[in-house]
């Protein structure tokens, strides 16, 4: 066993290690949810870009707004939908 691992094993209380692991798991889960949301938003933006002018009028969106929205980055997530 290398010295760094031995130092951690002997000097850091077990409950601190458990807390760090739980924080890391939480961070990984939040990252997964954010990436899933980004994929979903990207799909919605692609679908918006494919709507006809008539379909856009029916839902009250101007073509310029639809084009702007469809060109936004996948990671540029709406604040109300962020994880």
42 domain-assigned = yes
57 domain-assigned = yes
How many domains does the structure of the chain reveal? 1
| pLDDT attached to residue 9 | 63
82 domain-assigned = no
83 domain-assigned = no
Select from 81, 71, 70, 80 the least CA-distant residue to 34. 81
**How many other C-beta atoms are found inside a 10 Å radius of the C-beta of residue 48?**
17
Read off the pLDDT of residues 45-73 as tens digits, 9 standing for 90 and up: 999 999 999 999 999 999 999 999 999 99
| pLDDT attached to residue 23 | 96
Write out the residue range of the structural domain in which residue 10 sits: 3-77
Band (12; pLDDT cuts 50, 70, 90): confident
């Amino acid at each position: 066993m290398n010295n760094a691992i031995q130092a951690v094993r002997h000097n850091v209380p077990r409950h601190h290690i458990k807390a760090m692991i739980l924080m890391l798991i939480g961070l990984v889960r939040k990252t997964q949810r954010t990436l899933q949301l980004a994929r979903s938003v990207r799909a919605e933006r692609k679908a918006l870009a494919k709507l006809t002018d008539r379909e856009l009028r029916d839902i009250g969106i101007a073509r310029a707004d639809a084009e702007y929205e469809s060109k936004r980055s996948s990671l540029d997530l709406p604040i109300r939908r962020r994880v």
